Amino acid sequence: MVLNQLEELTSRAFDELGKVTNLEELEAWRIRYLGRKSSLIQILRLLATLPLEDRRVAGARANEVKKTFEARLAEKKTSLELAATLSLQRESLDVTLPGERVLLGRLHPTTQILDEICHIFQDMGFQVVEGPEVEWEYYNFEALNMPADHPARDMFATLWIDFETEAGDRPMLLRTHTSPVQIRVMEKSPPPIRIIAPGRVYRYEATDATHEWMFYQVEGLAVDRNITLADLKGTLFEFARRLFGKERKCRFRCDYFPFVEPGVEVAIDCFVCGGAGCRLCGNSGWIEIIGAGMVHPEVLRRVDIDPEVYSGFAFGMGVERIPILRYGIDDIRLFYSNDVRFLRQF
Ligand code: FA5
């Protein structure tokens, strides 16, 4: 009978010991199975009442059970303590280890220069607007005084988009310049107008050190009474002075664009060769950055602005050529080839 009780007690105790996961639970187990009020101690006390032969056998077994409990208790305690130490070690921080370097991202050089250009013109009272990169042929050419078959369309090697509307064939393209934004703005707002329009443009042309097939332009447009070529010149000279500093030379020359009359081209002396001629400037000593002119009366008429009352100037500058000039970068193709060794320098 006592032996049975001891067997049952042993099996229950081992079962529960197996479920113990920390030192607090182990202490509770100890009190339950080896404490003064535990079943085992009560059985040991009962032994005195048993006949001699039974007492001998049961006493020996009970002592064995007690010893086993104590041994298993010590074993479990050691293993729990070891586990606790290991987990503490895992969680501990070694403050002497060097920290992990956090890599800082930075703005792309084009974005940086666009911000700078926008600030300069905003200071002069220009408002920043945007237009779509996928454009109707009408805005890119027709409204800018370049009807179909106009030879000047060849100046803008075009990426056409195959697209048919329900109304029929209405050609679309990737805009070849930001000038269509001029039309979109003049259609909507009456003069006075003073805007700049930054954005991407696309040309189907072979690339070289100063030509990309995708690049950024910033368009500018001012329309009001009595605007003259002197206003255009003053605005662009002031812009060049603020961006490049007083020392840089700035050249105005006659140029042709069907949407302006007269048309001009603005160039800055080459940063790399100082004007002597090199690969970057095509041996001319100058890098052209802006096309500009007085808005053609025909363009104004199309958007219902009376050219007898109003006049305006417009310009379009190539954005990447500015950091090229400023930092002496000798190839425009570096900008969008995504080499972080290049981009990280800015
Ligand atoms: C134009 O795109 C005209 N829309 C500019 C204009 C606006 C004239 C308003 C008059 C009035 P052009 O094709 O020259 O013009 O381009 C203007 C500028 O963009 C150039 O001066 C040059 O800085 C830059 N550019 C032109 N082609 C490329 C190219 N392939 N890669 C990088 N920059 C270019």
Lowest mean pLDDT across 37-41, 232-236, 290-294: 37-41
- pLDDT for 196: 98
- CB < 8 Å & 24+ apart, contacts of 23-29: 23/77, 23/80, 23/81, 23/84, 26/73, 26/76, 26/77, 26/80, 29/73
Better-predicted residue by pLDDT, 288 or 185: 185
Contact present, 292 and 324 (Cβ < 8 Å): no
The rounded distance, in Å, linking the Cα atoms of 343 and 108 is 7
Count of beta carbons in the 10 Å neighbourhood of residue 320: 23
Helix or strand run (H / E) with residue 80: helix 52-91
Which pLDDT tens digit goes with each residue over 83-120?
888 888 888 888 888 888 888 888 999 999 999 999 99
Q: What ligand 1 atom has the least distance to the C-alpha of 155?
A: 13
Which residues lie below 8 Å from residue 241, measured CB to CB, with a gap of 6+? Answer: 250
Say if residue 312's pLDDT is above 70.
Answer: yes
Lowest mean pLDDT across 9-23, 91-105, 112-126, 247-261: 91-105
Find out whether the beta carbon of 311 lies less than 6 Å from any atom of ligand 1.
no
Q: Whose CA is nearest to atom 27 of ligand 1?
A: 211
Overall average pLDDT of the 54-71 stretch:
88
Contact present, 328 and 209 (Cβ < 8 Å): no
**Parallel, antiparallel, or unpaired: how do β-strands 127-128 and 193-202 relate?**
parallel
Lowest mean pLDDT across 71-80, 237-246, 278-287, 310-319: 278-287
Find out whether the beta carbon of 203 lies less than 6 Å from any atom of ligand 1.
yes
Domain residue ranges in the chain? 2-90, 109-343
Contact present, 195 and 220 (Cβ < 8 Å): yes
Percent of the chain whose pLDDT exceeds 90: 55
Find out whether the beta carbon of 315 lies less than 6 Å from any atom of ligand 1.
yes
Find out whether the beta carbon of 268 lies less than 6 Å from any atom of ligand 1.
no
Q: Whose CA is nearest to atom 15 of ligand 1?
A: 291
Find out whether the beta carbon of 197 lies less than 6 Å from any atom of ligand 1.
no
DSSP conformational letter for 311: E
Q: Whose CA is nearest to atom 28 of ligand 1?
A: 211
Find out whether the beta carbon of 312 lies less than 6 Å from any atom of ligand 1.
no
The preferred substitution site among 321, 329, 331, 336 for testing ligand 1, maximizing ligand atoms within 8 Å of CB, is 321
Q: Model's pTM, two decimal places?
A: 0.73
> What is the per-residue DSSP string for 168-195?
EE--EEE-SSSTHHHHHHHHH-PSPEEE
The rounded distance, in Å, linking the Cα atoms of 346 and 328 is 12
The rounded distance, in Å, linking the Cα atoms of 96 and 108 is 36
Contact present, 51 and 1 (Cβ < 8 Å): no
**Cα(316) to centroid of ligand 1, in Å?**
6
**Cα(176) to centroid of ligand 1, in Å?**
9
pLDDT category of residue 38 using cuts at 50, 70 and 90: confident
Helices (H) and strands (E) in the chain, counts: 11, 12
The preferred substitution site among 288, 319, 331, 335 for testing ligand 1, maximizing ligand atoms within 8 Å of CB, is 288
Better-predicted residue by pLDDT, 269 or 1: 269
Radius of gyration of the chain (CA): 43
Q: What ligand 1 atom has the least distance to the C-alpha of 182?
A: 9
b/e 26-57 (16+ beta carbons within 10 angstroms → b): beebbeebeeeebbbeebbeeeeeeeeeebee
**CA-wise closest residue to 322 among 288, 345, 346:** 288
Q: Please confirm whether the linkage preceding 98 is cis (ω < 30° from 0).
A: no
Contact present, 182 and 314 (Cβ < 8 Å): yes
Percent of the chain whose pLDDT exceeds 70: 98
Token pair, residue 303, equals: 């958007």
Angle, CA of 243, 336 and 264, to the nearest 5°: 45
Mean pLDDT of the chain: 90
Highest mean pLDDT out of 70-79, 150-159, 325-334: 70-79
Count of beta carbons in the 10 Å neighbourhood of residue 107: 12
The rounded distance, in Å, linking the Cα atoms of 329 and 333 is 10
**CA-wise closest residue to 318 among 114, 106, 112:** 114
- pLDDT for 133: 97
The tally of CA atoms less than 13 A away on the side-chain side of residue 303 is 27
Find out whether the beta carbon of 211 lies less than 6 Å from any atom of ligand 1.
yes
pLDDT category of residue 167 using cuts at 50, 70 and 90: low
Superfamily of domain 109-343: Bira Bifunctional Protein; Domain 2 (3.30.930.10)
**Cα(197) to centroid of ligand 1, in Å?**
14
Which pLDDT tens digit goes with each residue over 130-145?
999 999 999 999 999 9
The rounded distance, in Å, linking the Cα atoms of 243 and 165 is 44
Q: What ligand 1 atom has the least distance to the C-alpha of 263?
A: 10
**Cα(178) to centroid of ligand 1, in Å?**
9
pLDDT category of residue 62 using cuts at 50, 70 and 90: confident
Say if residue 332's pLDDT is above 90.
Answer: yes
